[in-house]
Homo-oligomer: A and B are copies of this chain.
Amino acid sequence: MSPNEIRIFPLSGVPEVKAGDDVAQIIADAIQKRSWSIEQGDVFVVAQKIISKAEGRIVSLAEVDPSVRASEWAATYQKDARLIETVLREAASIVKMERGIIVARTRHGFVCANAGVDCSNTLAGTVTLLPEDPDASARDLRQRLEKAFGVKVAVIISDSFGRPWREGLTNVALGVAGISPLVDYRGMKDGSGNTLQMTVMACADEVASAAELVMGKTQRVPVAIIRGVSMQSTSGSGQDLVRPTDKDLFK
């Protein structure tokens, strides 16, 4: 490995995760099967989907009784009213609800389509919700992985979010443990000797995006390991990436 190089390894062959499963053990088993060695500072990026499943954040649509509001919206846009009802229940507030698209703020403060309710890679008739507390999930997983591998690592729990002015989704970090989610360059000097004023980079989101490049959507690669990321510190959480509503210009 050349100095300052970053490497991204896809962890394929992870079995289907069910409610109550031990994700740390599943990851450790998959890594041991490959005889991979985990190094100090490796970052595990884990798809929100398998965390949600392990934590039982699964809704069977057959058990959802849609409200009038959900039914009317669903009828207008040819959607499943039970899915829309689940989205409305997960939304702390609605940011936009237009043209069949629901952009909502979740209780965690994430602004995303369908309040994070997702019907891809789920059993027929079920949808997944975001983890209750992705930072707690990341901290717990980090602790267990450190115990399994005997080195300090970081964990990012990621999901794919849209952007208002750009096409396509990119992966972002919902839960973060063991890596500073933001790198703050303010006050440092740039290459021309000017003091940088505005630059805070969301490196945990960038690590999540980098991982997505090997994770795909159609094969089962719910985990990637990123080696060589330089960290400003090992503290901070995914909540640091959520812009407080009093700074939101697009409420």
Residues of A within 8 A of B (CB): 2, 4-10, 12, 16, 96, 98-99, 101, 103, 105, 110-111, 113, 119-124, 160, 163-172, 181-183, 185, 188-192, 194, 196-203, 205-207, 209-210, 212-214, 217-220, 228-230, 240-243, 248-250
CB contact under 8 A between A241 and B166, given known A6-B214, A194-B124: yes
Q: Provide 21 A-B residue pairs closer than 8 Å at the C-beta atoms, listed in order of the A residue.
A: A5-B9, A5-B10, A6-B7, A6-B8, A6-B213, A96-B249, A119-B194, A120-B194, A121-B190, A163-B243, A164-B164, A166-B241, A167-B202, A168-B201, A169-B200, A169-B201, A170-B206, A188-B217, A191-B218, A206-B212, A206-B213
Bound CA span A124–B190, Å = 12
A167 and B240 contact, CB distance less than 8 A: yes
Using Cβ atoms and an 8 Å threshold, which residues of chain B touch A6? Answer: 7-8, 210, 213-214
